[in-house]
Structure 1
């Protein structure tokens, strides 16, 4: 066919195919416009999964009469005027494509009354044909009705799912948008029935209630609040403990400058922060908000604006990774609100949305972790199974001979051992159960890592250097980062365009594993400019040693030994989980026990 200019209507429909995937996409685009207009309340009403009707009403600043037709024209926007504005976009929408694209595949009616205007006006679009602006009755703000979506694009309409499925997609979309803007109230009406209503949340407890209403009470019961700012980046929100890990990434909500994202760099950084405390293959849960200079991020990299490009992706990756790792690192067993009770106990907890107020776990406080119960410590010598693995001071035994003091340590004092597996500890507020193997595994692992950090990684020279073939790009990256690798105990040098000689390797590693390790490090360096391959390999070795050296099940411990383990847990970072992500302890309150046995009823 000869080259020719496409008809205007077809251009609009092609643009709509890039932006509008389903009714939920319409809801997203229109609500983002409402938020950009400064709305304090957004009301959404749908019928038949949004295919028959999507109505969005807001109380924003509105649109002037003379601008109504422009609002439905391609590339017409009030949010940018020059290329400089595009490089520092601070609004959710900016390209001026959403309204005309939606209008080209539906029957749309737009009614708006601008702030300070004595009269509202409406304009309609049917299959892209605009009517004249006419007076209408409407409060300050804007209402947009989208009817018969995809009526003129039957091929797209055939790909829509059942009404229930499309309604669920819209519900999830509104939930994600409600998480992004606590200063705006949201409501959703399905077939004249209000199914969601989120009031404005200005205070911290109101924000937590909104988050719990959307992602669940159990999420908030396991959440750690984080707030950190460094090097031009600020991160706040809630990270869930590793024991609340999920099989799917269904509870991962991340917002950059108020914009919800699904970005692989961000997901990779957060997962890396969980690497030492979570089961392989499990997914962390979080609701996080990041703020940074808009000039450092390109938000025009994806048609639906769900992905971005960072000017310095490595800096963003390291900021997120270090922040998450530090929050999880500084969680000591018993340092904050006790872990949630087991599922059998949770049966007695209040139902969701029943006005539950969660104790704020808050940013972890750095403190001198010493208690009246004595300064007991654990021995790291774990080779001989018959030896006592705990060194205990006399004051710990003396404290158990007395009644439980008011200044008891967070994990209380041991009173018994159950089946040679669990330690039962009495605390002022209830009962604490500790998996002794998992707890000892974590404390041993962290002490071994600290010992490595103090003296550096020991290096083992090789009698005969190992020759390894890599790609030329990997060889260049390995040669450039040779000083960093030498600090980790790996001494390499370039032996050719695509060859590497290994002259020394970390003492914990075996020479037979070095080929795979070098290939992994080289690939990481080429892809990301950095690698934690050596560190991860060392940590895996240390974790294996700690697991095999930790006290085994069915090993009978004395009360002083059990108390020594509890005190060590209270001083050990990440001691809420073992090296594999299993919980090391849990808490059952006196009120839970009273409800279990119907006391006071």
Structure 2
């Protein structure tokens, strides 16, 4: 089959497919252009169905007639002009593909005017073909209207979700773009009805509104080049609600997401997510955003340094003692030194009071946290916490795992084991953490983890084992406790590194503030 050059129209459709896959992509590209144009008010109008019409209007700098015509051609942009500019990108757009890609798969109208021009310009493009350029009245700024999206590539429509889902993605896109630009007024309308209005506000208020978290459920912290907003420990969600930005650009980065999740650790239940917004500022030369046409992906020059900076900032923000509130009156760093045990409710919750109000402590979760940290410290210190087997056990091993029997990490976590002929091991002691498990299976699992992931994988396995052991021996719900036992439990809990949650992420204590109690009883 002969090699041939593709027609320009086909090239345009292929390029459009890389950038514009659904209506939300149109909104993203147009709103980013508005922000780069210095807009302070952006109105997004969407029809029902979404594909029929999408309009984005701004009060930005506008374009001249010449620039408006040039803007719908591929690889035309006002944001970079040389190869060197790619090393220091500070704008959201720079590839010069957005308008051309949208125009290739729709009927598009651009209405624009600069403040210094007496009249505006209207540009009409259909399926990538320039139809008309004419003078037209226009306020300063730009309005881009996209009609009949994908009318000329009907196969693309088959891969879209229901109209309701596509509009939800549009709303999510607007919210995502609005988070770092709290100085801009965003309005999203559907069929002339306002669905979302975000007036200029403080960064905290903007994030609180979009994450739908109360002021008391949201933490804010800044350190060096990291500015973060986090849901307090004890608050988690079944779906990912982590938004990460670098220099104001929303990015999807496993490095940043992993740093946030690892900093939360056991503060949230396994399989759930915190709500988080990360605003990271970096020298543009320290990263590359020119990875994919959609500009979501990013590469960092020093990935380890970025991970460490975010991890340490999130860890510092969460701190050792943020206690969930039921009052909506603000977080507390912990009970004061004058807390007093009042009693026990339902043989499950210890009631404390201090000068700030009342604390309810879940006795099982509290004891789990205490045991978890004590057991983990023992194991990490090398004590191992072993249990002798009634009789030494011979365990068969694959040839590739047998050489690892001499690894000192095995003794550190509690195994006493030695080679026993070829391809076997003799186990004399096993970690207490593995009580109730098949020792041979556990040994092979640990050796496989050492072989594939080294110390890091073993640490994960170790922590899961400690969690199980901590739960097994903890005080149960429904168990009556003496005052002395309650006082000792609370004292030991407050000495923990992370007293606010159990190892599985559930809260150990909840505060009801004095002001909340007074409000409930009408004493204000």
The TM-score normalised by the length of structure 2 is 0.84
Contact 1:278 1:580 in 2 (8 A): yes
> What's the CA shift for 1:505?
11
Are positions 1:516 and 2:445 aligned together?
yes
2:299 alignment counterpart? 309
The whole-number CA distance in structure 1 between the counterparts of 2:432 and 2:315 is: 24
> What's the CA shift for 1:600?
6.0
> What's the CA shift for 1:179?
1.0
1:95-151 Cα offsets, whole Å, 9 max, x none, are 111101101111111122235444422222122221454322223221111112112
The whole-number CA distance in structure 2 between the counterparts of 1:321 and 1:523 is: 25
What SS does the aligned partner of 2:267 have?
A: coil
The whole-number CA distance in structure 1 between the counterparts of 2:60 and 2:415 is: 60
1:56 alignment counterpart? 56
> What's the CA shift for 1:579?
1.0
1:537 alignment counterpart? 461
Segments of structure 1 that go 5 or more residues without pairing to the other structure are 350-357, 373-407, 493-498, 526-530
1:437 alignment counterpart? 364
1:465-502 Cα offsets, whole Å, 9 max, x none, are 9976559xxx9xx9xxx99999999999xxxxxx9x99
Matches within 5 A, 1:57-456: 57-131=57-131, 133-201=133-201, 206-218=202-214, 220-229=215-224, 234-249=225-240, 251-328=241-318, 330-332=319-321, 338-341=323-326, 359=330, 408=338, 412-450=339-377, 455=381
2:389 alignment counterpart? none
Contact 1:119 1:136 in 2 (8 A): yes
Q: Tell me which of 495, 501, 506 is aligned to 1:571.
A: 495
1:230-284 Cα offsets, whole Å, 9 max, x none, are xxxx3222122342121222x2222122121233333333322233333222222
Contact 1:225 1:360 in 2 (8 A): no
2:420 alignment counterpart? none
Matches within 5 A, 1:544-555: 544-555=468-479
Contact 2:325 2:331 in 1 (8 A): no
The whole-number CA distance in structure 1 between the counterparts of 2:415 and 2:336 is: 42
CA 1:483/1:548 → structure 2, altered by over 3 Å: closer, same or farther?
closer
Contact 2:379 2:385 in 1 (8 A): no
What SS does the aligned partner of 2:179 have?
A: helix
2:41 alignment counterpart? 41
The whole-number CA distance in structure 1 between the counterparts of 2:109 and 2:89 is: 28
The TM-score normalised by the length of structure 1 is 0.74
The whole-number CA distance in structure 2 between the counterparts of 1:449 and 1:199 is: 49
Contact 1:243 1:583 in 2 (8 A): yes
The whole-number CA distance in structure 2 between the counterparts of 1:133 and 1:585 is: 67
1:178-199 Cα offsets, whole Å, 9 max, x none, are 1132222211121111221111
CA 1:323/1:451 → structure 2, altered by over 3 Å: closer, same or farther?
farther
1:161-192 Cα offsets, whole Å, 9 max, x none, are 44333222211111111113222221112111
RMSD: 3.8
What SS does the aligned partner of 1:442 have?
A: helix
CA 1:326/1:45 → structure 2, altered by over 3 Å: closer, same or farther?
same
What SS does the aligned partner of 2:281 have?
A: strand
> What's the CA shift for 1:339?
1.6
Contact 1:466 1:502 in 2 (8 A): no
Contact 1:458 1:489 in 2 (8 A): yes
> What's the CA shift for 1:42?
1.1
Name which of structure 1's ranges 580-589 and 561-570 shifts more when overlaid on structure 2: 561-570
> What's the CA shift for 1:431?
2.7
2:482 alignment counterpart? 558
1:399 alignment counterpart? none
Contact 1:70 1:76 in 2 (8 A): yes
1:384 alignment counterpart? none
CA 1:522/1:59 → structure 2, altered by over 3 Å: closer, same or farther?
farther
CA 1:122/1:577 → structure 2, altered by over 3 Å: closer, same or farther?
same
CA 1:521/1:111 → structure 2, altered by over 3 Å: closer, same or farther?
farther
The whole-number CA distance in structure 2 between the counterparts of 1:226 and 1:103 is: 42
The whole-number CA distance in structure 2 between the counterparts of 1:595 and 1:11 is: 66
> What's the CA shift for 1:420?
2.1
> What's the CA shift for 1:415?
0.8
The whole-number CA distance in structure 2 between the counterparts of 1:75 and 1:549 is: 66
CA 1:6/1:491 → structure 2, altered by over 3 Å: closer, same or farther?
farther
1:48-89 Cα offsets, whole Å, 9 max, x none, are 243222111112222222212211110111222233322332
Contact 1:508 1:541 in 2 (8 A): no
CA 1:582/1:360 → structure 2, altered by over 3 Å: closer, same or farther?
closer
Matched residue count: 509
Contact 2:61 2:140 in 1 (8 A): yes
What SS does the aligned partner of 2:266 have?
A: coil
CA 1:515/1:91 → structure 2, altered by over 3 Å: closer, same or farther?
farther
Contact 1:467 1:502 in 2 (8 A): no
